[in-house]
Amino acid sequence: MRLWYGGDYNPEQWPEEVWAEDVALMRRAGVNLVTVGVFSWSRLEPSEGRYTFGWLDRVLDLLADGGIRVDLAVPTASPPPWFSLAHPDALTVTRDGVRLTHGSRDTYCVSAPAYREASLRITRALGERYRDHPALAIWHVHNEYGTPCHCDHAAAAFRAWLRERYGDLDALNEAWTTAFWGQHYSDWAQITPPRATQYLPNPAQALDFRRFVSDEMLAHFTEQRDLLRELTPGVPVTTNYVLAGWASVDHWKWSREVDLVAVDDYPTGRGMAAAEQTAFAADLARSWAGGRPWLLMEQATGYVLGPRASPKEPGEIARHSLQHVARGSKGAMFFQWRASRGGAEQWHPGMLPHTGPDSRVFREVCALGEALERIPAPSDEPPVVEAEVAILWDEEAWWAVQGPGLPSTEIDYLAAVEQAHRVLWRQGVAACFAHPSHDLPAYRAVLVPSLYLISDEAARNLAAYVEGGGTLVASFFSGIADEHTRIRLGGYPGALREILGISVEEFRPLADPIELPEFGRATVWSEVVHLDGAEVVARYPGGGPAVTCHRHGGGTAWYVSTRLDDPGYARVLARAGLAGSGIPGVEVVRQRDRVFAVNHTEDEQPVPLHGTDLITGRPVGGKLGPGGYVVVPL
């Protein structure tokens, strides 16, 4: 089985004469999978119930003749203008009460009955039409689920979700602490989504709404999935997750429902930072997939986020792709095949740039296609050797930290998790992500970066892990609140106090950086920490404990009560026995039957590998050239 290679293909943006050239160039580039129809609803159903499948028939036939398979989309991310005009109640309402208008994409309310019905109709029509088409390989439902709506349909669905969760209003009032500011609810009908209000909203309500939105979108996904499974048993159904700073869904929960975990990855940094972010994204995807193969559904041939869009530097397209494939991706896909001439994303780079095929980018795209052809796709067994270190990842904790009224606006959950991953990556320590309630004993160490919210169940799980001999490294603002964002009393961090052997009396957010002897610069946060069995590893300038270590049961629990820069955090990890021997910028990923090595530096580097490179067929003799990459079978 070959690795998948290709990208979003939007032929409806081009005259039909271009399509044959597309297929010819795709073949030249080694493309074998394209995602078709993600935003094609208005072209497939120009008015209610009238379908115009002719153009898509011709596209799919052309692709099939060219030996290219299709990840066929259900286009529900972009309802047609006629739909929005006919069903204005299905347009998104923001928290400020503004009803959005069509003219962009993702402008719908996932709870609106008309939208749900129309979604199923177009899904059925596509499923029935293409169920036997030879090009069909994967179903791609929607695109990057992530549009919350605050309208009355959403309110009704939110109430139903809350009834299911809490059973009665007493339980809800208690969980939301509605006694504060006189918010007590005496009828379900009084409850709304967190709409614009005079001052701070209720944090528990805000968090439950994020949970609800994720579940509501999942219900939309599973409706389409079930219909597609019925029509085409055996064809995997997926949807592409959006990564980076925008976690719109509970990925652990969603990953149990998709047949194939698929992610979109657009690093915001450049150079080495982009390589670090790519590894982070791929390890997340690999972890959500539970170690099974998954798919990098979108990336770009350039940098699209940040203040300046520009192409990736020579070699980066391949290196980033290889980072994903090394971590178990079934291939490397892009958005999009041909850069658009007009439209909102006309400056988003393509595999085939505006310049055309005679371009550096297209030559690199072809070279990557050739390289991927030589690497066999992973089998369905978990391809990647399990990492020894797990970093806890929980969207609910992130959402809670994005909530209102916290003691500092500078606590950045994503940055904390990224730092933990980056520091390990730089030292060549393989990491994966785990949910706080996952089975942890297999890991040598578990890192807990700023996990504000921890349920009782997760707290028991972490305690059992340390008692059973594990090493846990928690950083500030972890274990503070329960699943309803209520503070755990009696000294912070209530959920972890006992295993950490400390008790925190006060938080002291920092306006200016301070220096900790040996551990360097500390920013954002500090605490008044009392020892309750733990030893001091580092002290604040005033003498109070800043970093501590506690032997608990058979294991050890470390606590970092401030935000350290990367070298300081690396030093804590080293003290906890987690120093790696990797060369910075040289990435080595072990799969069961092969090893991937990628050199992100501009110098030749030693790599602990000898054998024959699957990509070039050349011998690998313990060295890797500047920017080079190899795959060596074991």
Residues known to be catalytic:
144, 298
Block residue for tokens 């699209």: 304
Nearer to ligand GAL, 143 or 599 (CB): 143
Would you give the distance in Å from CA 572 to the centre of its chain?
27
Nearer to ligand GAL, 255 or 599 (CB): 255
Q: 3-state class of 67 per DSSP?
A: coil
Nearer to ligand GAL, 345 or 467 (CB): 345
Site string for ligand GAL, 326-365 (x = CB under 6 A): ---------x---------x--x-----------------
Residue 497 in tokens: 């106090």
Nearer to ligand GAL, 165 or 348 (CB): 348
Among 22, 45, 250, 264, binds ligand GAL (CB under 6 A): 264
Helices 316-326 and 271-288 cross at an angle (nearest 10°) of: 30
Q: Does 12 bind ligand GAL (CB under 6 A)?
A: no
Write out the DSSP string of 188-243. Answer: GGG---S---SSPPPHHHHHHHHHHHHHHHHHHHHHHHHHHHHHSTTS-EEEEEE-
Shortest distance, CB of residue 271 to ligand GAL, whole angstroms?
Answer: 21
Shortest distance, CB of residue 143 to ligand GAL, whole angstroms?
Answer: 5
Nearer to ligand GAL, 176 or 266 (CB): 266
Shortest distance, CB of residue 345 to ligand GAL, whole angstroms?
Answer: 6
Shortest distance, CB of residue 231 to ligand GAL, whole angstroms?
Answer: 25
Q: Does 304 bind ligand GAL (CB under 6 A)?
A: yes
Q: Does 298 bind ligand GAL (CB under 6 A)?
A: yes
Shortest distance, CB of residue 351 to ligand GAL, whole angstroms?
Answer: 13
Query: What's the rounded Cα separation, in Å, for the pair 342 and 338?
Result: 12
Q: Does 71 bind ligand GAL (CB under 6 A)?
A: no
Query: What's the rounded Cα separation, in Å, for the pair 291 and 289?
Result: 5
Shortest distance, CB of residue 305 to ligand GAL, whole angstroms?
Answer: 8
Cβ(126)–Cβ(133) under 8 Å?
no
Closest-CB residue for ligand GAL? Answer: 335
Nearer to ligand GAL, 75 or 568 (CB): 75
Cβ(94)–Cβ(63) under 8 Å?
no
How many CB atoms are located within 10 Å of the residue 445 CB?
Answer: 24
Subset of residues 382 to 421 that bind ligand GAL, contact rule: CB under 6 A: none
Subset of residues 124 to 183 that bind ligand GAL, contact rule: CB under 6 A: 143-144
Residue 59 in tokens: 């596209």
Query: Alpha-carbon torsion 218, 255, 274, 434, what sign?
Result: positive
Subset of residues 215 to 254 that bind ligand GAL, contact rule: CB under 6 A: 242
Q: Does 265 bind ligand GAL (CB under 6 A)?
A: no
Site string for ligand GAL, 543-582 (x = CB under 6 A): ----------------------------------------
Nearer to ligand GAL, 239 or 255 (CB): 239
Q: Beta strand pairing status for 594-599 and 586-590?
A: antiparallel
Burial string for 590-625 (b: 16+ CB within 10 Å, else e) reads bbeebbbbbbbbeeebebebeeebbbeeeebeeebe
Shortest distance, CB of residue 335 to ligand GAL, whole angstroms?
Answer: 4
**Closest Cα partner for 295 from 343, 344, 261, 334?**
261
Size of site (CB under 6 A) for ligand GAL: 9
Number of H helices, E strands in the chain: 17, 27
Query: What's the rounded Cα separation, in Å, for the pair 298 and 264?
Result: 4
Task: Give the interface with ligand GAL as residue ranges (CB under 6 A).
Answer: 143-144, 242, 264, 298, 304, 335, 345, 348
